Structure 1
Amino acid sequence: TPKGSMELELAHAGLGKKVVLVLECTNHSEKEQTDKIIDVNDDEDDEGDDDADVDCTVGKGMKGIGALDEGGALDDGGALDEGGAAEGGGDRSPSIEERRVWKTAAPSEAVHLFMEDLRRGGDHQPPLRLTLNAGDTDEERDGTLISFYKQRRETCQWAADFRCSILGNAGVTAIFEGQREHLVLNLCTAILESDLFAMAGRMVGHSSIHGGPSLSGLSPAVLDALTRGTKDIVTSKLCLEDCPEIEVRDTISLLLKEEWTEAESVRVADLCTEWYFPVPTKETNRLLPFQQLLSHAVLGRANAQIKQFRKGIKETGIWPLLTARPDVLPLLFPRETDVELTPQMVLKCIIWPEASIDSDDSEDEMSTTNINLISGFFRAFVKEASSDVLKGLMKFWTGWELPSPRLTFKVVRSRGHHHLPTASTCYERLRIPDHYKSGSALKLDFHACIESVQSGFGLI
């Protein structure tokens, strides 16, 4: 307009508004003005992804902002640049070189710089607040958390200051399934229709922005499909362990055998017919149908789930980092064995013992004081332990490096000073004898137990 600037607001899929800055003394048609909007999703033409293109709107009394650039951030008028950093907002804005350095920095440094720039872009946004009532049941707390992440927000809002108090276990819905290091998205239609995969994507992006825990254990093939790996690369990373359904996995594995029984031939034919693939014969190269069936079992049937999960990640603004720097993927989606284990992660899973007051058998009864003393020694040991020591403890306790949701801790009668702690990995139960009088003695014995894991003890 002749006297200044105006905001052109366009309704976008009913989920927010696009804002375009029309500079003073410009004479553009409405068509040209709207063409300044650049798709945050890099011109992706995915079905069902249209509503992921959500931009920051201009609040009352704030400067105008421009359109999103191809890096997923804003330019002009105090907006975000390609790296997610605020531009034109005052002395705090970095130079162009500083804003783009994440593209050439080392992977860990690139993640740090990109997330730092995203958080800087959320400085002027009101903080996100999440309140969980400690008096609520697990189901009520889960419902509150799910409701929080199912709300659609503008990209810059996920970078705003996050204030919350979370008590209890927040996740019980099996959004991912399968074995460790080969997790895939659940094929349940109800989860897809409830937009829970988009919710999970927002959780992953939001946690990454603020330095929270990462999503670990995803199948490499699923991760490549999620981040636009080529079909050949994705197929090459598939393996039988990626198929969570044991019966389907066993049937597909028959294609690796040279000879089939009549029953095995029927199983293969039924699966091929069900999924509309040609039934292989003796003359057929069985490697091709093996790859086709495995790819369909892991990725083809989960195509809609992967798209929805990707859309949720995009809404948080971290997508430009994932596409421009694929070498940071192991940092944001690590293997479970590479995850840093903290004392808090272990302590919150432990079910601590309680002395019984109902038993009349005083000889078998253990005093509350003794139970609390041993429990205190063990709690101090866990709090002081490094990540590697905690992983060794979990191997001794459960047979795996990461804690299970319910770790049972028991104090038992000692059979003498040579009685060491023992573990039942199948029941995830740890037993500690009650003869310890100091934390240092307990620590010494536990290190001996952890070392024994290397020779197989505790991995029953």
Structure 2
Amino acid sequence: MLLHVEKGWLTISDPIKAMSACASFYRRIHERESPLVLSMDLKQTPAQQDLALVLFYKRPNVEWARPLNCRLEGDTAVGQGVTRYFISTCMEKLKSGFCINFANSNVTCLFEGPPGHLVPSASHFLVESDMFLVAGRMIGHSFIHEGPCLSGLSPAVVHVLLGGSPETATVTLEDCADLDIREKIELLEGDNALSDAERARVQELAYAWDLPCLTESNKKWLFEKLLIHAVIGRVTRQIKQLRRGLKETPVWTVLTKRPETAALIFPSERTGDICPEIFLQRISWPKEEEDEDDDWSAETKSRIKGYLQEFIKNGTAVELMNLAKFWTGWEILPKSLSVEIVRSSYPTASTCYETLKIPGHYRDYRSFRCDLLACIETCHTGFGLL
């Protein structure tokens, strides 16, 4: 029966549904095994909290499809919402950096560069510390639990990560995260003549990477070679280690057997944005008709609904992402979201039930927006209520 189910996801035409079916299959075959336990103490420093995440994913010989139990020490939250929070936090840390002092830096970034052109850090210390192995496991673990993807990676890095040759990768200057190196390589772009000082800068870089002298005939060739080495050649070990981490999880099976899923597992930065229209379509609103057993009038329900609709329609990408994470535990919109109007001071959320609870006392949009913004900012620090 399990073999039939496994083959099933391979034949599903919709890649999104195929990914979900694959993740469900692997969770099911390991559901009776002892759970993995991941805990974090919110009373500790950000560095200690991040270290707890890193140490969890540094464990060797782990079957990552086993059930996952997550605990937030110092917070009353339990259930699926906590699991979502942990996984979402891991994926966010891969992009924003860990608050761990590696190599005399308070924030350690595994990936560098502008959105849509992220490349692995060239730091050898991170490779020696197996941090890209950790990254691969985090990405695969998020896939198992149908969590957020790592968006914004350079297409050239994804190409090589999945077995493509560096020579056939589409590399751009924006993929070069080191601005000093980028400026030197950029001097070779186009047909403009270089000054002696500019030629010296380019030559210094070429010698450092064992490439030949710059001549009039090899200018374009040298430009391409320097760019490929700057983006891919310097981080070959990082990419290999990241691939090793992915191979420890079912995500690698999907990537190799269903190559079209690569664009979904490593989406471009802009595809990670939440569309306001889709957000609003998925909300189940409180019924507005009068009910003698209801605490709130139809007018109040309509007013609060209007405030939330206005916030979502006009919210920035970051605000909508934070709202989704506050509401559900991560930045992925479920098929259905619920809204309740309650008696309390500030908005709260029941992430396990994907329910946003909004006080009915608001009489103007300005105060509503101010409180909601303050509350959704707490999504980055746990489930503490304001």
Q: TM-score range by the shorter chain?
A: 0.5 to 0.7
The runs of 5 or more residues in structure 2 that have no matched partner are 73-84, 99-107, 277-302, 321-361, 371-386
CA contact 1:243–1:249 (8 Å) conserved in 2: yes
Question: What per-residue deviation string (whole Å, max 9, x for no partner) do you get for residues 148-186 of structure 1?
Answer: 0100133xx211111113579663220111111100001
Q: Equivalent residue for 2:316?
A: 391
AA in 1 matched with 2:19: V
Cα offset, 1:209, TM superposition: 0.6
Cα offset, 1:392, TM superposition: 5.1
Cα offset, 1:124, TM superposition: 2.4
Aligned equivalent of 1:270, options 199, 204, 210: 204
Which of 1 and 2 has higher RCO (CA within 8 Å, sep 6+)? 2
Question: What per-residue deviation string (whole Å, max 9, x for no partner) do you get for residues 408-439 of structure 1?
Answer: xxxxxxxxxxxxxxxxxxxxxxxxxxxxx734
Instruction: Measure the CA separation in 2 of the matches of 1:187 and 1:209.
Output: 28
CA contact 1:176–1:185 (8 Å) conserved in 2: yes
Please give the TM-score of this superposition, normalised by the length of structure 2: 0.64
AA in 2 matched with 1:200: A
Instruction: Measure the CA separation in 2 of the matches of 1:109 and 1:392.
Output: 25
Q: Equivalent residue for 1:123?
A: 31
CA contact 1:129–1:163 (8 Å) conserved in 2: yes
CA change 1:149–1:384 in 2 (3 A) is: farther
Aligned equivalent of 1:438, options 363, 369, 382: 363
Q: What's the secondary structure of 1:206's corresponding residue?
A: helix
> Does residue 307 of structure 1 match 2:244?
no
CA contact 1:342–1:390 (8 Å) conserved in 2: no
Instruction: Measure the CA separation in 2 of the matches of 1:251 and 1:289.
Output: 12
AA in 1 matched with 2:228: S
CA contact 1:178–1:243 (8 Å) conserved in 2: yes
Report sequence identity in percent.
35
Cα offset, 1:136, TM superposition: 1.2
Instruction: Measure the CA separation in 1 of the matches of 2:7 and 2:52.
Output: 38
> Does residue 160 of structure 1 match 2:160?
no
CA contact 1:184–1:298 (8 Å) conserved in 2: yes
Instruction: Measure the CA separation in 1 of the matches of 2:309 and 2:48.
Output: 30
Instruction: Measure the CA separation in 1 of the matches of 2:38 and 2:369.
Output: 42
CA contact 2:120–2:239 (8 Å) conserved in 1: yes
Cα offset, 1:393, TM superposition: 6.8
Cα offset, 1:390, TM superposition: 3.5
Question: What per-residue deviation string (whole Å, max 9, x for no partner) do you get for residues 26-58 of structure 1?
Answer: xxxxxxxxxxxxxxxxxxxxxxxxxxxxxxxxx
Name the larger-Rg structure. Answer: 1
Cα offset, 1:385, TM superposition: 5.0
Instruction: Measure the CA separation in 1 of the matches of 2:133 and 2:173.
Output: 27
CA change 1:120–1:393 in 2 (3 A) is: closer
CA contact 2:114–2:177 (8 Å) conserved in 1: yes
Q: Equivalent residue for 1:106?
A: 14
Instruction: Measure the CA separation in 1 of the matches of 2:149 and 2:185.
Output: 32
AA in 2 matched with 1:206: H
Q: What's the secondary structure of 1:273's corresponding residue?
A: helix
Across the aligned residues of Structure 1 and Structure 2, the Cα RMSD in angstroms comes to 3.2
CA contact 2:273–2:317 (8 Å) conserved in 1: no
Aligned length: 273
Cα offset, 1:441, TM superposition: 6.3
Aligned equivalent of 1:280, options 214, 232, 239: 214
Q: Equivalent residue for 1:318?
A: 251
CA contact 1:216–1:339 (8 Å) conserved in 2: yes
Q: Superposed, which structure 2 residues align to 1:89-238 within 5 Å?
A: 93-94=1-2, 96=4, 98-104=5-11, 105-154=13-62, 157-166=63-72, 171=93, 172=98, 173-234=108-169, 237-238=170-171
Cα offset, 1:276, TM superposition: 0.6
Cα offset, 1:190, TM superposition: 1.2
Q: Which region of structure 1 is more displaced relative to structure 2, 222-231 or 246-255? A: 222-231
Q: Which region of structure 1 is more displaced relative to structure 2, 225-234 or 183-192? A: 225-234
Instruction: Measure the CA separation in 1 of the matches of 2:238 and 2:318.
Output: 36
Cα offset, 1:317, TM superposition: 2.7
Q: Superposed, which structure 2 residues align to 1:36-51 within 5 Å?
A: none
The runs of 5 or more residues in structure 1 that have no matched partner are 1-92, 344-376, 396-436, 446-460
CA change 1:132–1:318 in 2 (3 A) is: same
Cα offset, 1:286, TM superposition: 2.1
CA change 1:382–1:299 in 2 (3 A) is: farther
Q: What's the secondary structure of 2:41's corresponding residue?
A: coil
CA change 1:233–1:99 in 2 (3 A) is: same
CA change 1:185–1:101 in 2 (3 A) is: same
Cα offset, 1:443, TM superposition: 7.8
Question: What per-residue deviation string (whole Å, max 9, x for no partner) do you get for residues 176-214 of structure 1?
Answer: 111111000011111111101101110110011101121
More helix by share: 2
